[in-house]
Copies of this chain bind each other. A is one copy, B any other.
């Protein structure tokens, strides 16, 4: 299989996920005042956070595949596994937004981010296993500090949301996004 078709399919799925999320931002019925918008701010801000996350994944995914030489059946399914967890983001984003960053929805959102991170790591390993330890990708990744730090921070965020306050959890999740943006 060629890399470019895997890219094209992943791009398609990511483009749909990022756009479908906005459907959770439902048009308010029977209220044409600014107050209708104020009531939407939790859904809006969780949309912004997830939009940034999909952007980060699209960016990283693209760089990873550019350094990939061969796509095997295992790589293909590791990629679909990643897309699966990303496809759940509109759902967990919507639940968190609609419940105004409640305890359980925020923890579930963090769990979803954690699963995406793990799936990304598995995909990375699957590609390196095919291309070899001296491959372009293996060297480009190097120690991969961000990749190793992210799951830890997600776990801390989930724990904070459950035991302290969801806002601390959100701070962790937004912090990881900021770390990848810089």
Q: Which of A's residues lie within 8 Å of B, judged by CB?
A: 1, 5, 7-9, 11-20, 22-25, 27-29, 32-34, 36-37, 48, 51, 55, 58-59, 62-63, 66, 73, 76-77, 80, 83-84, 87-88, 90-91, 94-95, 98-99, 102-105, 108, 181
Contacts and interface: CB of A to CB of B under 8 A. Distances in A.
Given A11-B8, A32-B104, A77-B55, A19 B17 contact: yes
B37 A87 contact: no
Contacts of A24: 27
A interface, by DSSP: helix, strand, loop or mixed? helix
Given A11-B12, A32-B103, 5 more contacts: A5-B11, A12-B15, A22-B90, A27-B91, A51-B84
A59 to B, nearest CB: 6
A34 B20 CA distance: 24
